[in-house]
Structure 1
Amino acid sequence: MSAVLGVPGIKIGHYTDKDNITGCTVVLCEQGAVAGVDISGSAPGTRETELLRPGKLVEKIQAVILSGGSAFGLDTATGVMRYLEERGFGHETSAGKVPIVPAAIIYDLNIGNSKARPGASEG
């Protein structure tokens, strides 16, 4: 991962499966970033996006991930959470830090191999 456009503290990583035509992209903000959300569409697939609405307890995220694989692709956030936890990043709680990683997916199962989906190991 590397800094993007010279923005300190922001890193982008990407996994591409060219053979199966799917992948995922993560934007890391290890020190935290304020984020918002607007969800639309007839079948949105998301994880942790409710935390991005105003008035919620959690004020910052440590990453956001966009993935193929339909609802199966939401598991990529688990891999990103593990990465951040191992490095000590996350929302402070009484039981320790919990990385906040909202995720959104696209339905791409009708192209490539529908059985090949990004998961925690690709996140």
Structure 2
Amino acid sequence: MKSLSWRTKMFSKKVLRIGLMAVALSKNLNLLILAVLTLVITVGCATLFGSKISEPEIASLPNNSFQISLSGEGMVTNEALQAEWYKAAAQKCADYEIITHDFTRRSSLTISGVIKCKK
């Protein structure tokens, strides 16, 4: 399941407020139609080009280790990907150590790392 980022949701809320203010201030039907059309186009673009992070791909490795990979689309930030990676690692095992990680942002917007669960 892909989720929109906090920044995209806040942008959509601001656009909605601006659109509603424009509707309230419009004095004739042409301005009302223009305001609604602008609102629909702006919210649609924000949703279409928003930040989307894939579900984590978790592969089992020997010695109670796991490789976790995440990828993002659109305007996703490296920090958001890292936060989701740490969240996936914590869900896999409560007490872990990071063996390797590659948090450098590439053109594919993918980060990965290997964790080892402590017993």
Q: Which has the higher helix share?
A: 2
TM over 0.5: no
TM-score for the superposition, normalised by structure 1: 0.33
